[in-house]
Amino acid sequence: MDIQPLLLGVDIGSTSVKCVAVEPDGTVAAAATGTYPIASPRPGWVEQRPEHWWRAAARAIRECVAGTDASRIAAVSFSGNMSAMVLADRRGRPVRPSMLVADTRAARQAEWLKERYGEEIAAMTGNEPLAAFVAPRLLWLRENDPGALTESSRFAFPKDYIRFRLTGEWATEPTDAGNTLLFDPAKGDWAWKLIRELGIDPALFPPLCSSAEKIGRVTKEAAVRTGLPEGTPVVAGGADMACSQLGTGILAAGETAVTLSTSIQVVTPLREPIRNLAGFTFHPSAVKGTFYAMGSVFTGGLGVDWGLRMLTGDSVSAAPDRNKLERWTEAMKDIPPGSRGLLFLPFLVGSGSPSFDERDRASWLGLTLGQDKPLLLHSVLEGISYNIRDNLELLERAGIPVRELRIGGGGSRNPVWCRMVGNVAGKPASLIGNRDASALGAAMLAGIGTGCYASAEDAVAQAVRLTQRLEPEPDAAGRYDEMYPDYQEVCRSLNRYYVGRKRDR
């Protein structure tokens, strides 16, 4: 029997690193994880230290490599959380903590950019300036921490920093460059004219490559640290949702991925950004010449974990082998659509797509004495599922077909929730075999870059496995169709209340 090569995918997430070694057919030969802390020293600030990513990644890679035959590793590539810019000095040392996507300190600079350059940026990228993008953050640093910019010789992104630690080579690629608002996808280059007009040092911008391009090899020093064989080819990689798009296999129109993670991402492929799709952001795909649209449901697994803590004192992460969550799932199986009149609005941290209103708040409506804990948690899942439908309907109103859903992420372990998402949306839903879609997508890029796959389409055909297809249940889907307008009306009414309350303060 032929010995299959292994492709190593490393995903630098917002709370943990995941490393998988997979065969070309998607079979996982070994896996490892590691964690790192998040700091919030001031309201609206959400930071991490890049050195913590490297320590956790090096340990996870070493553990993963130790679980298999290292000589089989053909290549390694990376996925990384989006917008978390790393500023580094001439020796490659980070000069300050990295702002994560949830960091809102650059909101004022984003508004300034929108007023002065909003039309130009939208025409180039399809996006309007938000605090999560890199350009407003560079302007914030110029005003509030100019020393960091003076000390820096370049910026890059989480996966680029880890790749630098393995190879000594700096570069980034379109899927992360697109999160700066300073990258022109049509030209495949930085928007140098805009960069100079904003007074940003052009020397900070790293060289560009393609997502599946080989960028160096594992150095001797990195080999000692990680257990990877010296000289292992290293492929550029991509932003986490670009890699997730590959890992869920959504390359064709009509396919939409729903990733049930801490926040939920709704992702669909596009040929180009669409100006009438307000509430979604647009990003270059790892498939050259294409894009994906992304909607964000801020209260996803975050809401499930909050509900469990509120009702039981435990969280999903605190439940060994998720046994507690499985027992609650069993208790929810026979609860009918509508949670017997109980409605939950899932805006614990404000609302994400499509409205992006930080004034929105979570609420339970219809509470009575006779309701039990499984019913309350069931209503939490329903409220989040309604918010997912908000995003899907926005796509369809913009003329983007949504024929089927691909459900992945940690929440896909909950069969009640997966079926509910399909029923609320009224769409067939297929479950992804490898829930760590971003890490799998990174491994697929390693394979594309080293010839294990002929193309992205070939990689998807070989490596992506769908384990179950759930058709919408007619009775449940019909009931949700009847109740969805009520959810929308309550959202509008309470938004008016919260907007008025904030104005009166």
- DSSP H/E element including 302: helix 301-312
**Which of 222, 265, 272, 226 minimizes the C-alpha distance to 243?**
265
Q: From first to last of its 505 residues, what are the pLDDT tens digits of the chain?
A: 578 999 999 999 988 999 999 999 999 999 999 999 988 898 888 899 999 999 999 999 999 999 999 999 999 999 999 989 999 999 999 999 999 988 889 999 999 999 999 999 999 999 999 888 999 999 999 999 999 999 999 999 999 999 999 999 999 999 999 999 999 999 999 999 999 999 999 999 999 999 999 999 999 999 999 999 999 999 999 999 999 999 999 999 889 999 998 889 999 999 988 877 888 999 999 998 999 999 989 888 888 888 888 887 765 554 444 566 677 788 898 999 999 999 999 998 888 888 878 788 999 999 999 899 999 999 999 999 999 999 999 999 999 999 999 998 888 889 999 999 999 999 999 999 888 999 999 999 999 999 999 999 999 999 999 999 999 999 999 999 999 999 999 999 999 998 887 655 4
pTM comes to: 0.91
What is the C-alpha separation between 353 and 281, in angstroms, rounded? 9
Number of residues assigned to the chain: 505
Q: CB atoms < 10 A from the CB of 362, how many?
A: 18
Determine the residue type at 381. L
CB 462 within 8 A of CB 25: yes
Q: CB atoms < 10 A from the CB of 486, how many?
A: 13
Using H for helix, E for strand and C for coil, what is the string for 251-308? Answer: CCCEEEEEEECCCEEEEEEECCCCCCCCCCEEEECCCCCCEEEEEEECCCHHHHHHHH
What is the C-alpha separation between 93 and 234, in angstroms, rounded? 20
Determine the residue type at 67. G
Q: CB atoms < 10 A from the CB of 311, how many?
A: 15
CA dihedral 126, 131, 135, 140 (to 10 degrees): 160
What does the domain layout of the chain look like in residue ranges?
Answer: 6-241
Domain at 6-241: CATH code: 3.30.420.40
Tell me the three state secondary structure of residue 445.
Answer: helix
**Which of 157, 55, 177, 147 minimizes the C-alpha distance to 100?**
157
Token pair recorded at residue 401: 């077909």
